[in-house]
Every structure is written in C-alpha cells, then in structure tokens.
Chain A
Amino acid sequence: MKRNITSLFKIAVVAAVVAGSTSCESFLTVEPKSSWVTEAFYKNQDEVILGLNGIYSYLGQDATYGQVMSAMFDAGTDEALYNRNNNTWPLGLYTHTPADVNIASAWLTLYKGIDAANNFIERVPETPDMDEAKRNAYLGEARFLRALFYFDLARWWGPVPLRTSPTTNIDANNLAAASLEEVYELIISDLTFAAQNLPHAKNQNESGHANKMAAHGMLARVYLTMAGYPLQKTEMYAKAAEQCDIVIADGWHRLNPSYKQVFLNYITNKYDRNESMFEIEFAMMRDQGIREDGRIGQINGVQFYYYPTQTEPFAYAMLQASVKLKKSYEAGDQRASWNVADFICNAQGNITQIKNDVLYWPGKFRRWEPITFGKIPDGTGTYKVLEGVSVPDKNFTGINYPVLRYADILLMKAECENEINGPANAYAFLNQVRNRAGLTDINPAAVNSKELFRKEIQDERMREFCFEGLRKQDLIRWNILGEALTGLNQMIEASNGTAVNKTLFKRAGENYNPAKHNIMPYPLQETVMNQKLSQHTEWLQ
C-alpha cells in the first residue's frame, strides 16, 4: 500500500508540474469572441474602412451635431433662444456650470473622435498591401476629421489638451492644455495634409466624405477664427482669403440658385455637393435599431405637437427664432420666410399662424409645412411632410446638417477682403449671396467704410447661416456676444410679446456674463481626473 501511495503522489506531482508549466497557459488563454482586439486591427483595407467610418460616426452623435453642438450650443444668441419655462438647457440660458452633462458629453465625444482618428493615423501607415495614394487619401480623411474635432474644441473651450497619439493605457489622464496656438498649429497641419491628399469632390463616388476643397474651406474658417477674438492674429485674414481664393478659383463649388432648395436638399437627404462642401450625414434608421439619426428639425424646428397616429412629423422645437432675426431681413429676401417660420401645430392638431414677434420658429430645417390653416382632425388644417422618409419618427430625423457651404466661402472672402483692404473689392462676393436670396446688389454708399461693411457682414452671416451652428462663435470672434444679447433684449422688450414671454426670452441676455461666457468651462470630470489641467480662471470665480 505504501508503494501505491508513493507512486500516486509521483503521478500527481508530475501531472501538476506538467499542467503548471505548459498546459496551464494554453488552458487559460481565451480570445475575445465578439470583438476585435485593438492591437490586431487595421490589418487590411476592409478594417481600414470600418475604422474610418467609425471616426465619421462621432460627427453624428447626439452629443455633437445630432443635438448638443448643433442646437443647444446655438441657444442664447441673437438668433435663437431656448423657449421652455424650465432650465433643462442651462447652456442656452447661461446658467451652466462645469458639471453640466451636455458640456461633458460634447467634450467626451469630440475626444472619442480624436482618439479614434489618432489610432487610425498611427496604425494605418502600417497596414500592408495598400496603394499609397489610397492610403494617403484615407489618412487625409482621418486628419480632416481630427482637425474638425479639435477646431470645435478650440473655439468652444480655448486651450485644450492636445492628444496626437492613441490612448493606450490608464496612465494617460494627466495632460496639460496646449496653448491655443499649438492646437491651431495641429489643425492647420491636418487640414493642409488633407487638402493635399484628398480627392476633389467631383472625383468622389460617394457624397459625405471629406474632400479637397472642403479642406481648403475649413482652413479659411480656421484662419478667420484665429484672426478674431481671442487670438486676434489679424495677419490671418490674408491666409483665410488665400484659401477662399483657391476654392473660388477652382470653380466647381457654387451656389445653388435657390436658397430654399439648399435646405430642402438637407431635409430630403439629397446631396448638392456644389454648394454643400461638407455636411453631417444623418439617416433615419432607428426602425432597424441603427442610430444614425439626429434631432435636426425636431429639436430646432417648427413645433408640431399633434401625434394621434404616430406618423406625424412631431417636433418639440426647443428654440425660438429671435425677433432680431425676423426683423433683420429686408423686403424681398427669400431667406426670411424660410428661416423664420410663422406657423405652428398644437396638441389638438390646430395649425395656426403666428403673430407674436417673439414666438416664431427656426424654419430652416422644418420637417413639415402647412398647406391650409385649420384643424387637422376636422380636415380644415392640412400639411405636408418634407422629410424624405415614409413615416417620420417622433423624436429623431434623418435631416442632414451643413458644416461648410459655398456661401460661407463667399462671405468669408468678403469679410477678409474688407478687413485687409476695405469694402471696395468685397461687395461682389456679398452680392452673390444677396442675389441668390432674391435681393439686388447692396448699395455701396450705405456700407462704404470698413466698419459699416463689417456690420453688414455680421448681419448678413446671421441672415444666411442662422441655425447652422455658426452664430455664437461668430459673435465671440467679433467679441460682440454681450452687445448682441443686450440689443436683442431691448428688441424683445419693445416687441408685441406678452409679459410672460418677454421674461422668458430675456433670460439669456440677463444671465450672460462677459467675464466667463465667451468660453466653455472644462467638464468637471476632466479637471478632477486630469491633474495637469486646471479650470479656466474665468470659471474659478
């Protein structure tokens, strides 16, 4: 028996040693089953495309252009005001704090896009068996997108941590903010690479991709932004003008003859690449469980509160078009009735016309239009759905959102020209935009100084680009956000709105504090976890 035990022990020991040394390791190796392992990704072109599409997806999230950056960030300007009695959009009322969830989600999503792009930019150069031109075109798209994300960060938040390589471990938390100049340097270098390596839109099979002229146009916007507040590098006007000239000289991008059609195209997902140089693509696929939708036209559209059959183009419409915008159009401007909608459909299905100065709606991305005023239930009120979907979703839309239109190239050119040389050679560019809106050329005598023309451009940009997410940043770079809000509040006070309405819409102007509201606070979680980033001094008081 004793020998039995001894041999048994021997066997056990041998088994344990063998198990411990070799088979343990293989027994304990289990590869992920339903995900790619990051380190092994980007090994062929299919994966490169999957990764690239993933970077684009961050443009279309709710936290970026789906709602937060396109609608919420636009609230509290002289063109759009938050219209609810509650305070769920503190950003639009200037009551936000560093703990605001929307600030954090926009910041995080932009950086997710940056991290995805950084991964792509670092790894794709090593993807085997790829045509070099194609590879550079892909890299150009990734760098275009990274520039876009950083540009949004820089103009809203100022100096931000500049991350140019992927986050690979948990020790990456601490990174100080780069100076605004350094951030712009990266943006310019990325866009320049993109301009050099991206194909021209006319040579692209698919719309929606970054393209050569869009990169030049974005460069123009970046330089123009740098020329204004807070950097005030006025030498950048020339650089911006230079980029505009490239696009204008190229000649392929041009204005659509109809202003209204430009937006009907966004609403119906038709691609007019001549005017729309770069746009965010949304698609209504929620019914299939795919979330490529946004809230454009629903959250910043014309209110439609009637919903008995679940097929109506419902719209919460959290923004009101300002009385200032309404009154800024001269007679005959075709943009007026498109951008400022004067109709509403209430919960009982009553389609009525609006007479109250402060209660007009942003009409630009409208989901619906009345055919006849009256009550839908009794057939007197009728309407048509504009969206290009069979059945509109209640809360989400597939309406695309412009990032860069050719009209902006023209107005940027006009602005730069005026800043550099005065208005003399700037009228022509402004007039192209005016003429398309059904207006005659501007009377040069009325805007014959740099200051007057600048004022004209400031108003013209609102008339042309309202609700396209440019206004607050335009006002900030001109350093007139406070002034604009004060002016607006005077107009509200003088309007025919009710006392309750006036109180409601004056909140933004009353709360605005020039000491801190020209820049977003860093999200609380960022300053807590990133020990090298301290909050903007403006936001510490």
Chain B
Amino acid sequence: MKKSQIILLLLITLITTGLDTLAQTKITGTVTSKDNGETIPGANVVVKGTTQGTITDMDGKFSLVLNSPNAVLQCSFIGFKPVETAVNGQKEIHIKLESELIAIDEVVAVGYSTVSKRDLTGSVGQVKGDVLAKSPVTNYDQALAGRVAGVQVSSADGTPGEGLSIVIRGGNSITGDNSPLYVIDGIPMENFDPGSISSHDIESFDVLKDASASAIYGSRGANGVIIITTKKGKEDGTTEISLNSSVGTQWIPTRLEVMSPYDYVKYLEEVMISQGESYEENFRTHWVSPEEYRNVRPINWQDRIMRSALIQNHNLSVSGGNKKSSIYLSVDYTDQVGTLINTGFNKANNNLKFTHRITDKAQLGGYLYYSYIYRNGLDISGNNRLSIIRDAITFRPVRPLVDDGKEGGLDLDDPNELRFDPVKTLSNTDRYKKQDVIRGNLFLNYDITKALKLKLSGNYNVDNRKESLFFKKDTYEGTKGIDGINGTLTYRHYQTLSTSNTLTYSKKIARGQTLTALVGTEAQIAENDYFIAKNKKMPTDAFGTDKLELGIEPELPVSAAFENRLLSFFGNVNYNYKERYLLTLNYRADGSSKFAQGNQWGYFPSAALAWRMIEEDFISDLNLFSNLKLRLGYGITGNNRIGDFAAFSLINYNEFSGYSFNERYQLGVYHYNLASADLKWETTSQFNLGIDMGFLDNRVTLTADFYRKNTRDLLLNADMALSTGYSQVLQNVGEVQNQGMELSVNTINISKRDFKWNSAFNISFNKNKTIALNSGQEALYTNPDWYFRFKEYQYITKIGEPVGMIYGLKRDGVYQFEDFNYDEATGKYTLKEGLPDNGRAVAPGSVKFKDLSGIDGKPDGTINELDRVVIGNPHPKHFGGLTNDFRYKNFDLQLFLQWSYGNDILNANRIMFENPGLIGNQYNLLAPAADRWTPENPTNGVQTYRFANVFGFPQDGNLVSDFYIEDGSYLKLKTVTLGYTFSKSFLNKAGIKSCRLYVAGQNLHTWTNYSGYDPDVSVGKYGALTPGLDYSAYPMSSTFMGGVQIKF
C-alpha cells in the first residue's frame, strides 16, 4: 500500500500542475429542478470545451470566472438529464435540470462497439458496476445472482473466493463447458478468474444473451458472452480520488441437526446389544444407560470447525485527466477469513489504465492489470474419502461416563476407520492456490476520417499458479494413510497472446438513414503447461511443500504442455432507418488449431431486426406507451471448449501403461485418444423474440424475451461400444434444446426530491431438453462419485428429458411385521408371497423399495438397477430477483431478494448420515435417525439399524432413492444495504466531494424447506450431468459489513 500511495501522490501532482486559468468575467448562477423548482446542491457546472468547472453549493448556487462571455455551460447531476446553456454575456444564469426517469439512452456494449439502448436489436442484459460494488462480496460474481434475467448464477458451495457457475439461458453442452465467454475491455478470455478483477473497477457488466448479439464472437459465443467494461480516467479535467473501505464479519448461519446425546447413546445401546454380549458388556461399563444422558449438553463438532470470520475490502482509485490524456489507477485489497478454520481467500487487484491523444486523429491507450490471488482450504467437498463435514457430523456428541479415551468416538486402531478429528484435519492440511494474473493491453485508435475509425490492439494475459497440498502429521493421511506426511506441488502456467483489430465506418448515408459497418480480425495464441511433483513419507512437517526433498518416497514428476490458436475475421453492419427500423447483421469466420485441417474454419452469421413502434403515429397516438420496440433475431454460434489436441489420435504414457520384466520396470504406451476425424464446433442456433415497453414516461419499463436455441453436433464425450477399446470418444453427436422466457420490469414507484423508490424485477423460465445422443443411445448414466464406495448411477440424461436428471429407486417406506410370515420355531421372518425384497435379505425394519421392473421389463421380486427411474429434476422452474432501492433524504436503502423455484436437490448427506449402520456402527447420525424404525416405533421413515440379524440399510448399489430428494426452492434476502451520504456543503469545507457510510448484509436469510446447509449448492463433479448434488459441501456463509466511501 505504501508504494502505491507514493505513486498516487505523484500522479495527482502530475495531473493538477499545468491546469491554470485566466480570469476575465465573473458570473454567478443557480441550478434548480425543472420538476419542482427546488435547488440542486452538488451539481456539476463545466465550461464547455475546457477543463474549467465547479460544483453548486448547499443552495444550488455557483460562481465561475469565464475567459469568454460567449462560453457555453454544461450542467449535470445524477438523476437529471445534462443541459447546455449559452452564457451570451449574462452575469447571472439560471439553469433548470429535467429529471431523467429511465435512462433509455444508456449505452450497452455489444461486442467491438457500443450502442444506445434505443438502437439495440438483440437481447442484452446489463448490470451497472456500482450495483455490484454495493454487495458485500469478495468477487463480483457473488453479487450477480438474480440481477439479470436469463442468467443463472449458482454456487458449487461456500468455499471462499471460488468462482460461481454462470449459465446463460440454460446449458447447451452435456459433457462440455457451459460457462460464457468473457470479454474484458474488448479482449475475449476463455478462462477468466472472477478474482482477477476488483468489483470497484467495473463500470458496466453486459450480458449478450441471444445469438444475434453473441454471433460476433462466433465459435466462442454459444454460451453467451459477458462483457465487462472497466472504469477509465476522467476526461473533464478534474481528478477524483475514491476510497472505499469496508470491514465485516461472516458466519455460517445453519447447522445440520444431529442426534442428541440421549438419542445417540440410545442408538449406541441398540448397536452394541445387537453385536453380542461382549459389546453389550462394554457398553454397560462405559456408557451405563441412555438415561444418564438425558440432559447432557452435546459436544457440537460443527461449532468446532466453524467460526465467525473477518472480511475486509479496501479500494483506492484515482481517476483524472483531460481531453488529451487520462489515467485511472486502482488498488484493491480483499481479505476473507474462511468460516471453516484454516481456510480463506485474499487478493490484491491493481489496475492502471491510461489514454493519450497523440494527434487529433490518433489516440494511444492501454492497461496493465495485476492481481495476486490466494485461496486456502480448497476442495473441502472435493475429496470423497476424507470429508470434514462427515467427521463433524458423525463424531459422537457426548463422552461416556467412564471414559474410553476415544476422542469423538474415533477408534484409531480400526483400519476401516476413515475419519479423523475434523479440527485437526482442517488445521493440519494446507491446501492453497496462489495465482499471479497479469493482463496487459495496448491499443491505438486512429480516426482515418470522421466516419472511418481504425482500432488496433495487442494483448497479453498470463496466469501463473502455484498449488500446494500438504498433509501434516496430525491428519488422517499423516498418521494413518499409506503416504504418511506428504506434499504435492503443482505449477501451472497459462498465457495468451492476442491481437484484436477493427475498422469502423459510421455515417448518415441519407436523410434518416444511419449506417455503421465494422470489419475486424483477431488472432490468439493460447499456451499452457503444468508441472507436478510429489513426495511422501516425510520425517517432519516443519516446512510444508517448501521443502519437498525431505520426503523419502518421491513420485515420478509429471509435466505436459498444450497450445491452441485461433484466427478470426468478422464483420458487423448496423442500419438505422428513421430511428424506426433497425437492422443488425453479424458474420464471423473462426479458424482454430483444435480441429483437423478441413474442419478448422467455422462460419457464424446472425441477423436481427428491431422495430421502434413508438415512432409510429398509430402507437404514439394511443398515448399508452412511452416506449415500444419489437426485436427479432436469429443467429448461429459455436462452442469450441475441447482439449487442444482432441482431434488427433494420440499415444501417451501414464502410470498404468508400463510393465515389468524380470523385476525391471519398463515404459509402455497406450492409446490415449481416438480422434473423430471430422470433429468440429458445437453449433447453437438461436431464435429470439423480444419486446421492450415503456409506460408513464418510462416510469414503468418492461422487457420480455422469448427464445429457443438448439445445440447440434454436441461436443459430447460419447459412449462407445467398449469392444472398440474405448469407453468414450469426443464426437459431434447429439442435440440439446433450451427454450424459455425472460421478463424484466423496472419501475419508478416514487420520485420525490426527498424520497425515491425504484424497483427492478426479473424472472426467467427455461426448459432444457435432450433431443438426441449418440446413435442408438437412449440415455447417458452418470455416477457422480461423491463417495468412493458407492458406484451406482445417480443421474440420467435421457432423450426427451432435461440433461442431468436425478435417477434412483422409489422408496416404499420400511418393511413392517405384516409383510412377513414369522416362523416361531426358527425365529425367521419370511417375506409374504408377492412382496419384493430390497436386493438382499430383509426383515421388519429394512428399507423397502418399489419393484418396478426386472430383466424382462416386469417386476422380478428384487431390487436392482432395473428398478431405477427419474426421481428428481434439479432444474428450476423459474428463478429471478427483486430489487427495491429507496432513497430518503441522505439515506439510501437497497433490498435485494433472489430466488430459485422448483429445483430438486439430491441430499447425499442424508444418504450417508441418516442411514443407521451404513458407514460406521457407532457414528452419530442426523437427527431424523433418532426416529428410526424399531419394533416399538414401526415408522415408514428411517429404517432400522438391525432387526432379526438383518441390517436395515440397503446394499451398495441401492442407496439412492427419492427419500433423499428434496425441494431446493429458496428465496433469499440476498443483499441489504443501508447507506448515509453526508451533505455536500458539510463536506466541501473539508475538501471532500462525497462521503457515504454504509452497512450491508449478504445472504442474510433464506426461506427454504431444504434440510441441508443451503439450497444454493451443487458439488457434482461432472457439470451439467450432475447438477443439484449436495454432499459434504463447504457451508454457505452470511456476511455483514460496514464501510465508508469517500471521494476527493
């Protein structure tokens, strides 16, 4: 921070020297509101064409000294339309500002250019940077959910600083990547880390949703495009220094309810008695009786691993300059201590952006962006063998009266015991990732003529990552694992060199006709490589991965390198006839090294028409609309997210492909990839129909869009006949359809001088459907592999249904006594004729399923994979957000609600922790297991632990059933911000332009019926194939922060 302060001072000095004025004429004036005549303090008054200006005082008055009596004054204030007033020799000027209701003339970025909203033909959503910056979050993407219709933002879990999943208008790909393309200040980026930018630097955030808009990004545009435009230096001769500091706390608001000490000991008693006399004796010795634990305070293991944690963000930016040169500098520091111990996130974003006008025609500019990002405690949910959530839930909640020395009930001598003290696991496992992200850009704008403009730019983007995973001694790995104390270091390097060049022609070609045409070319070389080293059985854990050579069992180091190139030519035409009829045509040709020769080039056209019906007399005469526009668009876009060398048949070496002869290991190779020779882009064609409406002087605006997109030639890891020697090969097969509707409504409910109330509402409906898979294939089955022991398929992607449906058995309660014939002589329970078993021996109390099918399609009296059906739909029926902004005098309040409705969650935590005896006899369980089946409690809920020598839980392979499917609908009070802005007159004396104090909360409350930590969860490993899975996820946190925003 020190260094940057010095630089800052230097910059301020540089910019402010040389600004001198010559005094000639003094004028005074007032600025008032045209609507109600009240004076406006704090309005900007600038002499046109100069850098000279001032701000009105408390009474809306100003004074200026002018060089010329014929100067023109420009006056502006937030919420009002800017006005120009000629002085014409007057000494006193009264300026009236007209309030701006809905900024219909706002510009939006549409790829290589910007258009005003009124001229927009496609479907583009926008969020302003200051909206994102208002949310108390560490990365901007956490503030995005619910802000833009059609943009579904969901978390995997609550891991600090982890990127969110953003899917625009439903997923196109089944096995491919559904994340959008990012364009940061004009530079397309395929792997953009949300941590590598400060929310405070974002000017606007535009989402190109339909193909007519995104086709200009061709082979990378199918998943939609997110254009982030960052702030730049001011050009009005003033300098603004902005400081934004906030500090707060986060906490995990929920706990999973586990069995109480009494219920646990009662359960334990049942377990021990069923195991035999010596166990029962052991139980009586240590535990005595459940009654002893009636009112004992439980040990809450979840509380031990969770904490309230500090979160802070500090941002300082300087923006200044004049018509000739401008500069924007920002430094940002964010530190988020994780709500699970030994986890956290911090980052430093540094941004320097400049422009400099060389001549009237030529302008040079660029930026240098450097971010340091540190994430600690990754993959809490990722490793399915060692789960700290599992350990926190299953550790026993109470110690026995006569202590047995087992902390939490952990038996370290048991070789099948995979658990470990979760506090120690977290404290002694170092999983971190350090990233240095550098982006550099240099551009030249050259106005060949007034109408013809050339823009050349070169860009460099590098992302260096160091990933460390170290298990200290006091972890499961360190004490019980076969590798002992061990560490793995991974270095990854990504770099992209690219150039983007456009030539724009813009002219009024005839009366009422405007033509803008653009041609451009881009080239990109993207390289990445990695290096992994691992060493094991270290004698000490003193140095972590900083001294890997201490281990005595090094593994073979691993390295690999990749490269791909992209070359593009594109063009765009916008034609505007009498502000009434608008036409946009896009065309892009992309050539990619990822595909074999002959298939390298893909062509992506789009067209859109808009009719501004409000300009037609028959509409304006209705006096109903203040805006009415119809938009119609169609386009073709692509998705090229595949491995760099997927189009080659390849031979490789891996750890399994060698063989030893005579006890001497020899390298061997294997067929690593089968090329499908004609591999090409995944192609999405999208049709969009939109309508924009404004009522009551645009106090109410409404935008609705209907779309249908079909993605063909999916880049699918398609199943092969195994006898080919390949299980899956990447192919262009299959088709997915998404269709839906989006609605956004913005209203200005109250607009008084002292009280303003605006609302913004959006809702999205999307229907996803699998149209085709590989030929002959009806369905793709997926095992999300959340626990190594459970190998059953739990998801299905079936023709005619949405991608990634939850798949399993239908639960039929629990077997009851009346389901059996009892033989008193042998003490055996035999199922009554016609009743199916559950896949293994059953008795009263065993879990019961519906026998739906057998090998010949008829129920066969037993339960196996043939009885599985779709049991849950993880796709929401609709989702959206509602924002209410209030401003009362100097106070501002924002309430933001966000929801998702109708999506199911596979709560795998319950499979593991609500299933008596399944994973460990003496493990504590979730609270519902206290109400399990016993002869005295013949429930149809949770099955018995064991009855008549038969375990109640199902065999492996029959674990997933609709019993564990829950409604994941939720409504979240996502963001609440309350601010107070000091009045200008008070601040002006201190040389402060503005000052706002605020408090803000994030994720403050969630209304849901979901029984897990948080319904905004999806930890499935296989993207679109395994959505809505909750197992051992990092619980979501709530945040409360207070801060100050000062501008100088």
A interface with B by C-beta (< 8 Å): 1, 4-5, 8, 12, 16, 19, 24-25, 27-30, 32-39, 41, 49-57, 59-61, 85-88, 90, 95, 97, 99, 101, 104, 107-108, 111-112, 114-116, 119, 160-161, 163, 167-170, 172-175, 205-209, 269, 271, 281-283, 285, 287-292, 305-308, 310, 314, 347-348, 393-395, 500, 503, 523, 525-526, 528-531, 533, 539-541
Taking CB atoms and an 8 Å cut-off, the chain B residues in 658-684 that contact chain A are 658-677
* A85 neighbours in B (Cβ, 8 Å): 951
Q: Does B569 contact A (CB under 8 A)?
A: yes
Write the nearest CB–CB distance from B414 to chain A, whole angstroms: 6
Q: Are B658 and A526 in contact (CB under 8 A)?
A: no
For the complex, what is the distance from the CA of A53 to the CA of B653, rounded to whole Å?
11
Which B residue sits closest to A292, measured CB to CB? B660
For the complex, what is the distance from the CA of A106 to the CA of B725, rounded to whole Å?
11
Q: Does B856 contact A (CB under 8 A)?
A: yes
For the complex, what is the distance from the CA of A186 to the CA of B206, rounded to whole Å?
64
The one of A271, A308, A530 that contacts B723, using a Cβ cutoff of 8 Å = A530
Q: Does B402 contact A (CB under 8 A)?
A: no
Q: Are B413 and A33 in contact (CB under 8 A)?
A: no
B interface with A by C-beta (< 8 Å): 413-416, 448-449, 452, 480-482, 484, 503, 521, 523, 534, 536-537, 553-556, 558-565, 567, 569, 591-593, 597, 600, 644-645, 648-653, 655-677, 718-727, 729, 731, 774-778, 789, 791, 793, 839-841, 855-856, 864-866, 949, 951, 955-957
Given the known A-B contacts A54-B668, A57-B656, A87-B839, are A99 and B865 also in contact in the complex, defined by CB atoms under 8 Å? Answer: yes
Q: Are B650 and A28 in contact (CB under 8 A)?
A: no
Given the known A-B contacts A56-B668, A290-B556, A525-B719, are A1 and B449 also in contact in the complex, defined by CB atoms under 8 Å? Answer: yes
The one of B555, B648, B723, B855 that contacts A161, using a Cβ cutoff of 8 Å = B723
Which A residue sits closest to B553, measured CB to CB? A287
Given the known A-B contacts A30-B593, A97-B865, are A169 and B676 also in contact in the complex, defined by CB atoms under 8 Å? Answer: yes
* B562 neighbours in A (Cβ, 8 Å): 33-34
Given the known A-B contacts A35-B650, A208-B662, are A114 and B725 also in contact in the complex, defined by CB atoms under 8 Å? Answer: yes
For the complex, what is the distance from the CA of A206 to the CA of B666, rounded to whole Å?
12
Q: Ordered nearest first, which 4 A-B pairs have the shortest CB separation?
A: A115-B725, A53-B668, A289-B555, A530-B721
Which B residue sits closest to A16, measured CB to CB? B569
For the complex, what is the distance from the CA of A282 to the CA of B665, rounded to whole Å?
10
The one of A49, A167, A290, A394 that contacts B482, using a Cβ cutoff of 8 Å = A394
Q: Are B553 and A288 in contact (CB under 8 A)?
A: yes
Q: Are B722 and A526 in contact (CB under 8 A)?
A: yes
Write the nearest CB–CB distance from A18 to chain B, whole angstroms: 13
Q: Are B776 and A12 in contact (CB under 8 A)?
A: no
Q: Are B449 and A30 in contact (CB under 8 A)?
A: no
The one of A12, A27, A36, A291 that contacts B523, using a Cβ cutoff of 8 Å = A27
A selection of 22 A-B contacts at a CB cut-off of 8 Å is A19-B567, A28-B591, A30-B564, A37-B649, A51-B669, A53-B659, A53-B666, A87-B839, A87-B956, A99-B793, A108-B722, A116-B670, A205-B662, A206-B664, A207-B662, A208-B659, A271-B662, A288-B553, A288-B554, A289-B555, A306-B415, A307-B480
Q: Are A269 and B663 in contact (CB under 8 A)?
A: yes
Q: Are B776 and A528 in contact (CB under 8 A)?
A: yes
Q: Are A38 and B671 in contact (CB under 8 A)?
A: yes
* B559 neighbours in A (Cβ, 8 Å): 34
Q: Are A283 and B660 in contact (CB under 8 A)?
A: yes
* A305 neighbours in B (Cβ, 8 Å): 415
For the complex, what is the distance from the CA of A480 to the CA of B569, rounded to whole Å?
72
Interface centre among B670, B778, B791, B855 (most CB of A within 10 A): B670
Write the nearest CB–CB distance from B483 to chain A, whole angstroms: 8
Q: Are B777 and A529 in contact (CB under 8 A)?
A: yes
Write the nearest CB–CB distance from A454 to chain B, whole angstroms: 35
Write the nearest CB–CB distance from A471 to chain B, whole angstroms: 25
The one of B668, B672, B723, B778 that contacts A160, using a Cβ cutoff of 8 Å = B723
Which A residue sits closest to B523, measured CB to CB? A27
* B415 neighbours in A (Cβ, 8 Å): 305-307, 314, 347, 394
Given the known A-B contacts A32-B645, A50-B669, A97-B866, are A112 and B725 also in contact in the complex, defined by CB atoms under 8 Å? Answer: yes
For the complex, what is the distance from the CA of A288 to the CA of B556, rounded to whole Å?
6
Q: Are A39 and B656 in contact (CB under 8 A)?
A: no
Q: Are B776 and A529 in contact (CB under 8 A)?
A: yes
For the complex, what is the distance from the CA of A160 to the CA of B482, rounded to whole Å?
41
* A540 neighbours in B (Cβ, 8 Å): 855-856
Q: Are B651 and A35 in contact (CB under 8 A)?
A: yes
Q: Are B591 and A291 in contact (CB under 8 A)?
A: no
Write the nearest CB–CB distance from B665 to chain A, whole angstroms: 6
Write the nearest CB–CB distance from B85 to chain A, whole angstroms: 36
Q: Are A290 and B565 in contact (CB under 8 A)?
A: no
* A172 neighbours in B (Cβ, 8 Å): 720-721, 724
The one of B593, B655, B791 that contacts A291, using a Cβ cutoff of 8 Å = B655
* B719 neighbours in A (Cβ, 8 Å): 525, 528-529
For the complex, what is the distance from the CA of A195 to the CA of B664, rounded to whole Å?
25
Interface centre among B523, B597, B656, B725 (most CB of A within 10 A): B725
Q: Are B723 and A30 in contact (CB under 8 A)?
A: no
The one of A35, A288, A526 that contacts B645, using a Cβ cutoff of 8 Å = A35
Write the nearest CB–CB distance from A345 to chain B, whole angstroms: 11
Write the nearest CB–CB distance from B865 to chain A, whole angstroms: 5
Q: Are A112 and B670 in contact (CB under 8 A)?
A: yes
Given the known A-B contacts A36-B651, A97-B864, A97-B865, are A174 and B721 also in contact in the complex, defined by CB atoms under 8 Å? Answer: yes
* A41 neighbours in B (Cβ, 8 Å): 651, 669
Given the known A-B contacts A4-B448, A209-B661, A526-B721, are A108 and B414 also in contact in the complex, defined by CB atoms under 8 Å? Answer: no
Q: Are B727 and A28 in contact (CB under 8 A)?
A: no
Q: Are B536 and A287 in contact (CB under 8 A)?
A: yes
For the complex, what is the distance from the CA of A345 to the CA of B724, rounded to whole Å?
44
The one of A29, A54, A170, A288 that contacts B593, using a Cβ cutoff of 8 Å = A29
For the complex, what is the distance from the CA of A150 to the CA of B731, rounded to whole Å?
28
Write the nearest CB–CB distance from A279 to chain B, whole angstroms: 11
The one of B660, B726, B776, B865 that contacts A208, using a Cβ cutoff of 8 Å = B660
Q: Are B665 and A290 in contact (CB under 8 A)?
A: yes
* B660 neighbours in A (Cβ, 8 Å): 208, 281-283, 285, 292
Which B residue sits closest to A528, measured CB to CB? B777
Write the nearest CB–CB distance from B248 to chain A, whole angstroms: 44
Interface centre among B556, B657, B720 (most CB of A within 10 A): B657
* A500 neighbours in B (Cβ, 8 Å): 949
Q: Are A163 and B791 in contact (CB under 8 A)?
A: no
Which A residue sits closest to B672, measured CB to CB? A35
For the complex, what is the distance from the CA of A206 to the CA of B661, rounded to whole Å?
6
Which B residue sits closest to A29, measured CB to CB? B593
Q: Are B855 and A539 in contact (CB under 8 A)?
A: yes
Interface centre among B523, B669, B673, B726 (most CB of A within 10 A): B669
Write the nearest CB–CB distance from B473 to chain A, whole angstroms: 13
* B793 neighbours in A (Cβ, 8 Å): 99
Q: Are B561 and A33 in contact (CB under 8 A)?
A: yes
Write the nearest CB–CB distance from A282 to chain B, whole angstroms: 8
* B565 neighbours in A (Cβ, 8 Å): 27-28, 30
Which B residue sits closest to A1, measured CB to CB? B449
The one of B661, B670, B674 that contacts A281, using a Cβ cutoff of 8 Å = B661
For the complex, what is the distance from the CA of A38 to the CA of B649, rounded to whole Å?
5
Q: Are B563 and A33 in contact (CB under 8 A)?
A: yes
Given the known A-B contacts A4-B448, A33-B561, A283-B663, are A291 and B721 also in contact in the complex, defined by CB atoms under 8 Å? Answer: no
* A289 neighbours in B (Cβ, 8 Å): 534, 555-556, 558, 655
Write the nearest CB–CB distance from B421 to chain A, whole angstroms: 17
* A528 neighbours in B (Cβ, 8 Å): 719, 776-778
Q: Are A525 and B724 in contact (CB under 8 A)?
A: no
Interface centre among B452, B521, B671 (most CB of A within 10 A): B671
For the complex, what is the distance from the CA of A415 to the CA of B26, rounded to whole Å?
123
Write the nearest CB–CB distance from A236 to chain B, whole angstroms: 26
Q: Are B855 and A97 in contact (CB under 8 A)?
A: yes
Q: Are A393 and B482 in contact (CB under 8 A)?
A: yes
